[in-house]
Amino acid sequence: MLAIETPLIVILLGPPGAGKGTHAAPLSQHLGVPHISTGDLFREHLRNKTPLGNVARSFIDAGQLVPDHLVLEMLADRVRQSDCARGYILDGFPRTVDQAEALDKQIAEQSTVIAINFDIPDRYLVERIVSRQACKQCGQLYNTQFAPPAQSGICDHCAGSLYQRDDDKEEIILKRLEVYHTQTKPVIEYYSQKQGMLHQINARGTKTQVFQDVLKACEKTQVMA
């Protein structure tokens, strides 16, 4: 585990299917700070049929972004929890420049912020996403093509059953990619303008290679902090 003196905020940027969730889980263990995926938080609201879940469903099912004010409220509730005192890993947030500006206002001044962009061309993404499966119980991610479970449909870690996300259908994935290019890509530019904050990594490598690059980016920032 890295020795962190000030709160550490790690922001994972990248298109749908780039590997944000895949690498956020082991990174969370490595750094000892929680993994916060706004997509996972919304899916929990959908499962629990909360008022927020009912509003968010139409946006998520259409591959559109949920309106900023709903995302910001949900995230503020989550980061207020005590496990976030030493920092957290953000996966799928910020997704608009307005969200990035709102985050800047919220994080303590002495925090160390690392933005890591998972760079990968679109042509690899649909294939990755249509073959993704996740465990209903523990959230572990699999891929029937690239990282299958030992036993089809069963989680290797907790024996939970695996499922496919409702928004992982090809026509919705293409919409999510379009939304990514128009609304989320400017966020990369936003962080590139902040001295030394943005790290570009090649997300096309093997999972082991990509994770090594994620760790290097974190270590580089820690040395500079």
User: Under the rule (CB under 5 A), what is the footprint of Mg ion?
Assistant: 21
208 burial level (CB within 10 Å; 0-12, 13-18, 19+) = exposed
Q: Which is nearer to ligand AP5, 27 or 71 (CB)?
A: 71
Told to check if 116 binds ligand AP5 by CB under 6 A, we report no
- Provide the mask over 67-106, with x wherever binding to ligand AP5 is found by CB under 6 A and - wherever it is not: ----x--------------------xx-x---x-------
Q: Which amino acid is at 1?
A: M
Which positions ≥6 away from 22 have C-beta within 8 Å?
Answer: 141, 207
Nearest-angstrom CA–CA distance, 43 and 165? 9
Q: Which is nearer to ligand AP5, 5 or 73 (CB)?
A: 73
Nearest-angstrom CA–CA distance, 196 and 223? 12
Angle, alpha carbons 82-83-85 (nearest 5°) = 70
Smallest separation, CB 82 to ligand AP5 (Å):
23
Q: Which residues bind ligand AP5 (CB under 6 A)?
A: 14, 16-22, 37-39, 42, 59-60, 63-66, 71, 92-93, 95, 99, 128-129, 132, 141, 143, 146-147, 176, 206-207, 210
